[in-house]
Amino acid sequence: MKISSIKALEVLDSRGNPTIRTFIGLDDGTVASSSVPSGASTGSHEAVELRDNDQKRYAGKGVLKAVNNVNNIIAPKLINLPLDELDKLEKLDELMIELDGTENKSGLGANAILSVSQALIKAAAASQKKPLWQFINQYYFSNVKPAFPKIMFNVVNGGKHAAWNFDIQEFIIIPQNNQPTESVRIGSEIYHAIQRNLKQKKLSILVGDEGGFSPALNNNEEVFQLIVEAANKIGYENGRDFNLAIDAAASEFFNNGKYEFKKENKTLTGDELINYYQGLKQKYDILSFEDPFAESDWENFAKFTALQKDTIVIGDDNYTTDPKLIKKGIEEKVTNAVLIKPNQIGTILETVTAIRIAKEADWKVVISHRSGETEDSFIADLAYAAGADFLKTGAPSRSERTAKYNRLLEIENRL
């Protein structure tokens, strides 16, 4: 079959900001679409998310430039090209990279390119009447057995995602069971137990960007105590039924070589922050630390990782789903896991390459959402198809988050 139409438009993400959605039509009548999310705390090496900067529309956040790049530059080059040849999807991604002509996708915009890249895969899968996960697995991961990831539920939001009520950006629970029916249930039950606990304490149950609660507690440790207490009330035990994890997003509180915990009114050196994390790990049995140091602080990343035996250290802002940076991280033993966000790099071809490199190094792979999300559930199929270790897509709340969890439930039920 051939590509018969490509049409992009401006839609809204979960924060009410514009993003891009692209529809792909094939000559057999198949139509598929895909939308692109947007991050708040972003790494400096991320591919460029093209915005209009026209203050008369959406306070400068419009994406009509990206839309026009799809409709007027990408579409004429791709329409009438075949989509059923064995390596055609990879070639189409390579063609878009060449069309862009920049290292960081600033020519056409990573958001423009990714919207097409994902929609092409959806269209190819639909045309072959295959579930999306199955097509992705057979096309990109033929030597990998599909497997359900453990789910990382962000149940309390802090940092840039919740007006800095805490310095740590995400407090996460990870159900031990990786079957979606069970893990989604456990995550939801603990989430609602936290809500009841907050109500009893007369604290706010308003939520942050990713659906997690953002109560006015005094410090980071009180959040762990809140979660464990709420879970215990309904019979769940930390370390047995679920694990705790954090995304520190430390680049956001790194200043002049030091780490500033504004909420707790203290400034820490890298070594002091390592000791702080080690204390949290021992006290609260924390399984995973994401971005515990600033993206440029590879030295302390490596120091911290070297101390860990059974703890996962995830790099996000320091790698930004870039295969070259991930290779460097592997060589220098900077972390033992990587966060994968397709919109950080801009094509599924490069995203898949990043996943393959990490898996070959026996690193843990975490497929992740962004704080400004859409209803698109592509990453759920990607996580299952790639046999990723974890899927991280927010709280069991808000439809742009639950769309991914619900998609895992559909896959589990072969729907």
Domains of the chain listed by start with CATH number: 3-129 (3.30.390.10), 150-412 (3.20.20.120)
pLDDT at 44 over 90: no
pLDDT at 162 over 60: no
Is residue 341 part of the annotated active site? The answer reads yes
Q: What is the 3-state secondary structure (H, E, C) of the chain?
A: CEEEEEEEEEEECCCCCEEEEEEEEECCCCEEEEECCECCCCCCCCCCCCCCCCCCCHHHCCCHHHHHHHHHHHHHHHCCCECCCCCHHHHHHHHHHHHHCCCCCCCCCHHHHHHHHHHHHHHHHHHCCCCHHHHHHHHHCCCCCCCCCEEEEEEEECHHHCCCCCCCCEEEEEECCCCHHHHHHHHHHHHHHHHHHHHHCCCCCCECCCCCECCCCCCHHHHHHHHHHHHHHCCCCECCCEEEEEECCHHHHEECCEEEECCCCEEECHHHHHHHHHHHHHHHCEEEEECCCCCCCHHHHHHHHHHCCCCEEEECCCCCCCHHHHHHHHHCCCCCEEEECHHHHCCHHHHHHHHHHHHHCCCEEEEECCCECCCCCHHHHHHHHHCCCEEECCCCCCHHHHHHHHHHHHHHCCC
pLDDT at 164 over 80: no
Catalytic one of 46, 210, 373, 400: 210
Catalytic one of 341, 359, 392, 404: 341
Is residue 65 part of the annotated active site? The answer reads no
pLDDT in tens, 299-329: 999 999 999 989 999 999 999 999 999 999 9
Q: Where does the pLDDT of residue 86 fall: very low under 50, low under 70, confident under 90, or very high at 90 and above? A: low
